[in-house]
C-alpha cells in the first residue's frame, strides 16, 4: 500500500488490507477472493490477487476453494 494514499483511496480500498495481512498468520491460511488479477492496477486500484502475489501469500477464487474442499450442491 502506498504511504501517501488520499482519504478517498483509503475508503476505496476498504477491508482488503486487513484480510491480506492476516493470511501469513498460519501455514494453512489462504486468501479467498472473487477478484481477478489485473497487474496494471496501481495504488487503490490494485487487486487482491496481485497484492497477495507481491507478498508471497496464497490466494484462490471461491470456486477453487469449493473444488479443493470437494463441495457439491445436490
Distances in Å between the alpha carbon of 70 and those of 28, 31, 35, 66?
A: 17, 18, 21, 6
In a domain, 51, yes or no: yes
What is the extent of the structural domain holding 11?
7-68
Structural domains of the chain, count: 1
Evaluate whether 22 touches 16 at the Cβ level (below 8 Å): no
Given pLDDT bands bounded at 50, 70 and 90, which one contains residue 6?
confident
In a domain, 14, yes or no: yes
- The average pLDDT across 55-63 equals 91
In a domain, 20, yes or no: yes
Separation CA 73–CA 30 (nearest Å): 23
Q: What residues form DSSP beta bridges with 61?
A: 33
In a domain, 74, yes or no: no
Q: Please say if the pLDDT value at position 1 is more than 60.
A: no
What's the pLDDT score for residue 2?
A: 64
Amino acid at each position: 500500500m502506498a504511504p501517501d494514499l488520499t482519504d478517498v483511496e483509503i475508503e476505496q480500498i476498504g477491508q482488503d488490507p486487513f484480510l491480506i495481512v492476516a493470511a501469513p498468520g498460519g501455514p494453512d491460511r489462504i486468501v479467498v477472493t472473487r477478484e481477478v488479477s489485473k497487474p496494471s492496477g496501481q495504488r487503490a486500484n490494485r487487486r487482491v490477487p496481485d497484492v497477495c502475489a507481491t507478498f508471497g501469500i496464497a490466494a484462490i477464487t471461491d470456486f477453487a476453494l469449493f473444488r479443493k474442499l470437494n463441495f457439491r450442491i445436490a
